[in-house]
Structures are given as structure tokens and as C-alpha cells.
A and B are shown apart, each in its own frame.
Chain A
Amino acid sequence: MSRAERAQSTGQRTDQRTDQRTDQRTDQRTGEQAGRRTGPADGTYARTPSPLWTFGLLRSELVTTFRRWRTLALLAVLAAVPVLVGVAVKIETSDGSAVGGDGEGPAFIAQITNNGLFLVLTALAATLPFFLPMAVGVIAGDAIAGEANAGTLRYLLVAPAGRARLLIVKGATTIVFCLVATVVVAVSALVVGALLFPLGEVTTISGTRIGLAEGLARALLIALVVAASLIGLAALGLFVSTLTNSGIAAMATTVGLLITVQILDQIPQLDALRPYFFPHYWLSFADLLRDPVHWDDLLRNLGLQGVYAAVFGSAAWARFTTRDVTV
């Protein structure tokens, strides 16, 4: 993004925020701002904003995030991955040969030609190691640091959002992005798969068969699990974002940490530590396609993401609520 563009988008964003917040502010907190600044030391206030205010803030935050060109570009790249995979498989198998016969390539790629539904799984398996978490890292890293960088953080805090509340809203937006990004990949893959390949009964990786409807339900569940797998990274990115005033630095740090941890996860000598790395169980989503479903690693993955979210979420809170916001 060029400097001019950024300046422009920042300007727009500030305007937008100010507009929306002014509306809500007028009836909810007239004249309270001055009182807040010099507020009573025991922390009591005459009025607290209604809970709806949080939803207003969340809505405004979601609109701002998903209207950004950067976000749309990230989603477009993610949507392009299944198209690429689908077309490549189609071209390679057009002469009747099999693809990935030796078990090479992303998981499930050998099954795509027989059932387009497997393109959803292949696309998720192909994007989960890097594309998806990178996109989440960008959004999460930008959450607080980007505002500080653009000089809009002060304005947000001047509004009676409260720091913890603002952080919660930022975290919720990041998690919504995790879900949207995953769903974009899955839906794009489903559309491409249905267009290029036949759909039908699904053979689970245990060799049993399930109907197409159950197959679709499992694919949806897999998309949800993949989205949940990204929560740990989202919390980590949010924490990094509270440490710095530079959005770029926060994004780079988050994505750098992701790559570092993924490399460490490949080192056999770290066997004792590996189960505690957040990407360790990422591919466990495939266990949903076993028959019966093998829950052990899936639950471990979700638990691990929960622990990461709790640790880095509370660390982000500790940092953000105590730091001096000067920009």
C-alpha cells in the first residue's frame, strides 16, 4: 500500500469511526468524557454504557476490517488456492492418469478426481500450514498496533469503549476473520469441486462409506475445526499487537513466530515439547473423516487452542490495560 493510499484509508477510517461513534455517543454518554478523565479513584461511575454498545463497537469494527482492501485481497488469495489446486488436478488427470499416487502432495489429493468434496479437504490441508495462519497473523497483528500506527487508537479510547472492551472486540473480530477465511476457502473449494469433478458418496479414510449429505456435514465441521485451530495464533498475534506501535512490526513478528514454531515442530529432538506447540495438532482435522471419528487429537487441538487463547488473551489484557497510549 502506498503512503498516499494509506493516508487516505486512514482518513476514511477515522471519519467512519467518528461518524458511527458520534451517533451512539450522543445519547449514551453525554458529558461523561470529562468526568472519566479525572474520574473518582475508587473506579465507580455514575453510568455504565449499555451492553448493546459493545455490539455496536463490534459491528463497526467488523465493517471496518472487512471493508479494508487488504482484508479483501487476503480473502481473494485464499479463495484462489482451491481454484488453482482444482484446475491443476483436472489438467493433470485429463489423460486418465492418477494424481499423487505415491501419497505425495497435500492430504486427500488422490481422491479429488473421484469426489469433488475432497477438494474442500485438500484445500484446507494445503492452506492450513501457511496461507490461513498468515492471513490471521496479518489481521491479528494489525488489530491494536495498526490503530496505534495510524493514530486512531487514541480516538478509540476517548470513546467510552474501555480498554478491555476494545481488546475483546478486537479479539472477537480476529476470530470472526478466522472463521470467514476458512469458510471462504471451503466454499470456493466446494464450488470448484462441484464444477470440475463428480460429487457422490464419500469414502472415509477408514474405507467405509457415508452419504453425500453426511459428507457435507463433516466438511462443514472440519471447516469449523480448522477455524478454531487458528484461535491460538489469533490470541498470540493480538498480544504481539499490544506490544508495539508499529502494525507492520506486529504482523511480521506474528508471522515470524508462526514459521519458527512450525520449524521447531518438525524437529524430532524436541519431542517432549512438540505437543505444546500450537500448530502441532492442526492436521488432526482429518480425524473427523475417520470412521468412527478419532477424537483424541481433535480434542487435544481444541484444548491447546483454548490454553493459548487464555494465556495470550490475558497477557494482551495485562499489557494493553496498563500501557501508556501516547499515539
Chain B
Amino acid sequence: MAPFKSDDNATAGSPTADGTGNRRGGRRKAARYVVPVTVVGVAAATIGLVPAFAGSGDPDLPKITAQELIEKIAASDVQQLSGTVKISTDLGLPDLSGLEGSLGAGGGADGDEGSAADPSAKLPELASGTHTLRVAADGPDKQKLSLLDEASEYSLIHNGDDVWAYDSGSNEVYHATGAEADMQDGAEDGAKRGEEGGADGKSGVVPEDVPATPGELTEEALKAVDDTTSVTVDGTMQVAGRDAYKLLIEPKQAGSTVGAISVAVDAETGLPLKFTLTPASGGAAVVDAGFTKVDFSAPSAATFDFTPPEGAKVTEADDLEAQAAEERDAGQLPESDEELAAGLEDLGDLEGLKVIGEGWSSIAAFDTGGEGLSAAPSGDGDLGGLLNSFGDEVSGKFGAGTVFSTRLVNVLITDDGKAYAGAVTKEALVKAANADR
């Protein structure tokens, strides 16, 4: 931009110029603002168009049947990889993360029970919002899973006999060794990924694995595949710069809230690279987890080395268990965390649980053993009122009840204390409740 030219234009617009000059100057003045507007336009176009172009070129891959593709996933044996996974979950639940955090902080202030680095406290965070994870694996003995937060990171490192968890935000370390480390494979599965069917993490310390990576999510989805499901190969796509087949899993039955599950499977290694679960009601995906970067070469050995930093608070899993057992004996503290974490799986142990229907539209029915929520006198508990405000009142042949909805799972609790839960629509729940009478 030549400075003198601009000065000249300024002169042309000045009062000394004649009328014609004024008008021309005015136009020239306006013309200058074209520059910033153009810059905005170019920036917007770049932001808008580059991803569109990047995603447009579907790779040309040899045809493959759905059966072959599923076998390819099962046969996949990726031992070494490092990559970045982005996971977004939108269950349509109210965002209670802040509340949870403040409650947790309050609990922590009481004493030194628990640890911020305890995996059972950290991993359930993945259930809502968008998170960036880093995974690295080198054989069955070395895995690392890091949860990237703003200005802090939570790392879970499995190296041989040791399992370390490090929370940089609070500078706390959690450590488990030997036999215990094996039990934690559930949580470690995140990093393990390539391994088929890792050990069942049934430890009380670490919650049953929270599926975080496309591989684990796919495994769960394929478990549900039976004759009520249609599985097709739906073309190809590019994920993290790699060519992939798209596997589409759709429930055939009506009444399910699951619209479709689409899995991008790496054409070369058979590793699931992206997992998307869309609800039948449409809208944004409920779960969307995919690699944004992936590299199949061996990560550097230093990645899996961990020495607790000086001054960090180290919690040993043994101590924690002993402490928890002590507290349990004393009857001081219900294991609220663990109970919550065990979540739906605990439902399987409930007395009187039965499953209505099959496949995707199966509904779990059980007796809560108590009075229904609405049965509680309204003035009695604020909690009941609060819960009711989240739910919808429904009634049918079974009586009356309340339906609590998320975008994926609906739960009907009747006034006489029966509960029906499933990934099905409200109508299907009511129908099941009616039929159950």
C-alpha cells in the first residue's frame, strides 16, 4: 500500500477539491472499506469451503460385503498406533457438569478420601460434551490414554505392571500395580483398542470401561447385531486422511430411538476410525467419536514412562481400597461414586428384572420396590418435585407414570413403582407397560 497514493486520495476528498472531486472522493472513500470486507469474505469462504472440499473426495476402494467388513474388523490386529480422537456426546441431558464438579470439590474438602486422579472419578466426564483424547499403544503392555482439558490433561498410562493416572490440573497421581493392573484392563481398553475383547474390567476401583474410542464403541454396537438389524456397506469416506469403508447398522424394528450407527473402517488395517450414532428423531448425532489424526508407527518409548512429579499427591490403589472398605464397614459412606459408575450394569443384578422384546427395541422392566415418584406427597420432597419437572406425565392401561427422556434412552416410572427403560420411544414404553399388566 503506497502511503503517498493514500495521502493523495485524502486530499481529493478534502474540502479544497471542487464538487466533482468530492463525489469521486466519496466513492473512493467507500471503496477503501472494500478491503476489510473482502478480507472477511475470503476468511469466511475459507472457513466454510475448505472442510467441504476436503470431505468431498470419497476414495475409490474395491467392493466389499458387510460380512467381509465385519470379519475385517474382527481380524484387525493393530498393535502400534498413536492418534487423536475427538468424541462428542449429546444425550440431551441437562448439563450438570458444573454441579458435579462443585459437589466433588466439596467432598474433597472434607478429608482426603479419594483422589482427583482416580479413573472412576474422571472417565465418566466423557459422557457429556466434546472432548479430545489422545491414544497411544505399543503392544499389549504399553498403552496411554490422555484426556485433553483446557490447560490441563488427564493421562492414564499402562506400562507393564504399572498403571498410572496423572491429573495435571490438581497435580495428583493414582497408582495401581501387578494383579490389580490386570483388573484395570477395562479402563485401559481405551488405549488397547487393537486388542480383541480385552479382559472384563470388573474391578470395583475402576468402572467398567467407558467406551471412548471408535473401536470400543463399534465393538459394543456389533454385539447388538442380530436378525433385527440391517448391516450394509454404505460407500467409502476419508477419515483422518485415511481411506475407509462405511458400515451402516440400522435397527429394522420400529419404536427404537436409534436411527442408525455408521462406522468408518480403515480399508487397510480394519480398524474402526469413526463411530456415529444418530437418533431416529433426527438432529445432531448422539455419539460421534472419530480419529482426527492417526499414525500406525510405534510411538516413542518415552510416551509410556511415568515418574510421579515431585510434590505430587500419590494415591495407591491398595490404600484407597482399604480405606473404602474401612468406611464401608463403619457404614459411614455409601460408595456413591462407584454405584453411580456401575450405572446401568447394576440394573442387571436387580431382582425381578425382565427384558421385554428383543433386539434394538428391547425394554428392561423391573420393580423399583418403592412407591412411584408421583406417589410422594408433593409437599414432601423437593427432590421428587425436581425430578418430576424433568419428566412428562403419561397414563394408560397400566395406570399413570412419568417418562424421563433423553435423546437416546427413555425411562418410564409408574406410580406404583415399576420402571421400564430402553432405547425406545415413549409410545413403545407405554405399550410395553400396558402389555405387562
A binds B: yes
Evaluate whether A43 and B8 lie within 8 angstroms (CB atoms) in the complex, with A111-B171, A163-B3, A311-B43 already known: yes
Evaluate whether A317 and B32 lie within 8 angstroms (CB atoms) in the complex, with A110-B169, A208-B302, A208-B303 already known: yes
Evaluate whether A102 and B170 lie within 8 angstroms (CB atoms) in the complex, with A43-B5, A208-B303, A268-B95 already known: yes
CB pair A206–B146 under 8 Å, yes or no, is: yes
Evaluate whether A208 and B3 lie within 8 angstroms (CB atoms) in the complex, with A101-B170, A102-B109 already known: no
CB of A213 closer than 8 Å to a CB of B: no
CA separation between A209 and B95, bound complex, in Å? 35
Evaluate whether A125 and B8 lie within 8 angstroms (CB atoms) in the complex, with A102-B170, A111-B171, A314-B39 already known: no
CB pair B9–A101 under 8 Å, yes or no, is: no
Range for the number of chain B residues in contact with chain A? 35 or more
CB of A203 closer than 8 Å to a CB of B: yes
CB pair B116–A102 under 8 Å, yes or no, is: yes
CB of A283 closer than 8 Å to a CB of B: yes
CB pair B1–A164 under 8 Å, yes or no, is: yes
Identify the stretch in A2-10, A132-140, A245-253, A318-326 within 8 Å (CB) of chain B at 4 or more residues.
A318-326
CB pair A162–B3 under 8 Å, yes or no, is: yes
| Chain A residue nearest to B150 in the complex (CB) | A283
CB of B11 closer than 8 Å to a CB of A: yes
Contact among B28, B95, B109, B311 with A98 in the assembled complex (CB-CB below 8 Å)? B311
Identify the stretch in B65-73, B152-160, B250-258, B378-386 within 8 Å (CB) of chain A at 4 or more residues.
B152-160
Contacts of B172 in A (CB 8 A): 101
Q: How far is the CB of B93 from chain A (nearest CB, A)?
A: 14
CB of B53 closer than 8 Å to a CB of A: no
CB of B366 closer than 8 Å to a CB of A: no
Contacts of B39 in A (CB 8 A): 307, 310-311, 314
CB of B418 closer than 8 Å to a CB of A: no
Interface residues of B (CB under 8 A from A): 1-15, 28-29, 32-33, 35-36, 39-40, 43, 84, 95, 104-105, 108-109, 116, 132, 134, 146, 148, 150-153, 155, 157, 164, 166-172, 292, 302-303, 305-307, 309-313
Interface residues of A (CB under 8 A from B): 36-37, 39, 41, 43, 45, 48, 98, 100-104, 107-108, 110-111, 113-115, 125, 161-165, 200, 203, 205-209, 268, 283, 286-287, 290-291, 294, 296, 307, 310-312, 314-315, 317-319, 321-324
Known: A48-B4, A100-B171. 4 other contacts (CB 8 A): A101-B313, A208-B302, A307-B43, A319-B32
- For this complex, 5 residue pairs linking A to B, each with C-beta atoms less than 8 Å apart, are A39-B8, A114-B311, A115-B309, A294-B148, A323-B10
> Which 4 pairs, one residue from A and one from B, show the smallest C-beta to C-beta distance?
A162-B3, A318-B32, A107-B151, A114-B311
